[in-house]
Structures are given as C-alpha cells and as structure tokens.
Homo-oligomer: A and B are copies of this chain.
Amino acid sequence: MEKYKVVFHINESNKWSTLLANVNNLIKDLGKDNVIVEVVANGTAVSDYVSDSNKDDNNLINKVSEAINFGVKFLACKNSLASNKIDERLIPEFITVIPAGVTELVKKQAAGYGYIKP
C-alpha cells in the first residue's frame, strides 16, 4: 500500500502544542511506517524552534526531537526567520531551513500530500 502523505502548516506560535498532539495522534493511529509527515512553520511559529535555556526541559525542541524519531520532518521558513529577526544559526541542525514556507506547502500538495492546519 502506498503511504499516506500530509503536510501540517503552522504560522502561530500558540498552535505548537495542538500541532504536536495532532502529529502524535496521526502516527499512533496509522503507524509510523504508513504515513509521511512534514511540518512547515512560517510566521511567528518559527520563533519556537530556538531553544530557550531559561525554560524547563519539557519544551518544544524536546517534543520536536521525539517526533523526528518517528520520521517527522520539520521545516522553517527563511523569510519568517528574517521578519522575526531570528538568527538562522540558532535553529537546531535537525530543522531544515527552506527559502519560503508557502512554496513548500504548494509543492507538497502538488505532489499528492494532504494539508492540515491545526
């Protein structure tokens, strides 16, 4: 059977917990080998990719790392990093920085991915 494919779109910082719960539920339900999941962050959502040493350990970066272990790919929009004045070098290496988040959303849907905006 061909794998299901989906791109999640997040552009607001306060939607991360919902998005990660959605991703976890999807993988738990379909099984990680049956679905390809990609998360495209643009807008203010990209700011959460930067680790904050003042926060406790249970932060977004840890949860993202867990999802990556299930094969989920996380991307950050370079335009959004610039407009939110975030130094690209602060983005963890397991996050892929792409020129434009919207282009990725268009290309993935053209390649048969479903779209979900939590």
Number of interface residues of A (CB under 8 A): 37
Q: Which residue of B lies closest to A118 (CB)?
A: B11
The majority secondary structure among interface residues of chain A is helix
A9–B108 alpha-carbon span in the complex (Å): 18
Number of copies: 3
CB of A115 within 8 A of CB of B118, answer no
CB of A109 within 8 A of CB of B102, answer no
CB of A102 within 8 A of CB of B22, answer yes
A114–B112 alpha-carbon span in the complex (Å): 9
Interfacial residues, chain A to chain B (CB-CB below 8 A): 4-6, 9, 11, 18, 21-23, 25-26, 28-30, 35, 42-43, 77, 79, 83, 99-103, 105-110, 112, 114-118
